[in-house]
Amino acid sequence: ERLDYSEMPEMERWVLHRLTEIDALVKSCNHSFDFARLYGAIHTFCAVDLSAFYFDVRKDSLYCDGVDDRRRRAARTVLDILFETLVRWLAPVLSFTCEEAWLTRHPGENGSVHFETFPRIDPAWRDDALAARWERVRRVRRVITGALEVERREKRIGASLQAAPKVWISLEDKEAIGDLDMAELAITSDIGIVVGKPPEDAFTIEDIKGVGVVPARAAGERCERCWNVRHDVDPASGLCGRCAAVVGSIGETVA
């Protein structure tokens, strides 16, 4: 089920680009014995780029898409690459933890992560233009998630999937977003994108100019499988169209 780089969605290619950046730092910092800088960068990558963004967005695909879905296959391919890479990079410092993780994945009496060399990162994965585009996309997302956090704090929503915010952005941000699904990236059930100046009552973040968000609740019924609020949820099964198709494809009975 491994997917070739050329077939991957942009988000997966962005993660692999980030690996090329950290790989350069791995080589530089190991050469200069600057381990504090190196492992600080790896920690930030894991906490900010992966946990707070990539994993958060892609869990819907991993849990809910069909087994052969391209997006899900791409995510699983990248997860495999991340495991093989991060465990080797971290092994010199987290020696016992990485050994346990490695042997769980690669069991064998003669196996050890400490017999492995650092992975070779494909230089073709580096894409500075893609990285610049996704920097803009993530800035827009940061404002959206900030607005939704206020809604949660005020008890107007319980989860981001209950929301369908309206977002005002600049033309440059709109061009960066292109055909990306911002509802998917912001983990909302729907979203409205408007090019123009945000209204006075919009939620904004001071250091992100030209982006404003007016939250609203999503219309429809919640799918019992993916928890997205949709208009096509079947009252009998409780499933949206996507989930009904996936469940049907794996031989389960949709009531």
Between helices 10-32 and 128-153, what is the axis angle to 10°? 110
- The pLDDT, as a whole number, for residue 55 is 98
- Cα gap 144→125, rounded to integer Å: 29
Q: Percentage of the chain with pLDDT > 90?
A: 94
* pTM for this entry: 0.93
Q: What would the pLDDT profile of 40-63 be if each residue is shown by its tens digit?
A: 999 999 999 999 999 999 999 999
- Select from 184, 193, 223 the least CA-distant residue to 58: 184
User: Is residue 26 predicted with pLDDT exceeding 70?
Assistant: yes
Measured at the alpha carbon of residue 93, what is the angle toward residues 90 and 99, in degrees to the nearest 5?
A: 65
Q: The domain 132-219: what is its CATH number?
A: 3.30.2320.20
* Encoded amino acid at 135, one letter: E
Residue 220 falls in which region: left (phi positive, over 0), alpha (psi -120 to 50) or beta:
left
Q: Give the mean pLDDT of the chain.
A: 95
Q: What would the pLDDT profile of 104-145 be if each residue is shown by its tens digit?
A: 999 987 889 999 999 999 999 999 999 999 999 999 999 999
- Cα gap 226→224, rounded to integer Å: 6
- The pLDDT, as a whole number, for residue 42 is 96
- The pLDDT, as a whole number, for residue 254 is 47
User: Is residue 180 predicted with pLDDT exceeding 50?
Assistant: yes
Q: What would the pLDDT profile of 221-231 be if each residue is shown by its tens digit?
A: 999 999 999 99
State whether CATH 1.10.730.20 applies to domain 5-125: yes
Can you give the residue ranges of every domain in the chain?
A: 5-125, 132-219, 222-255
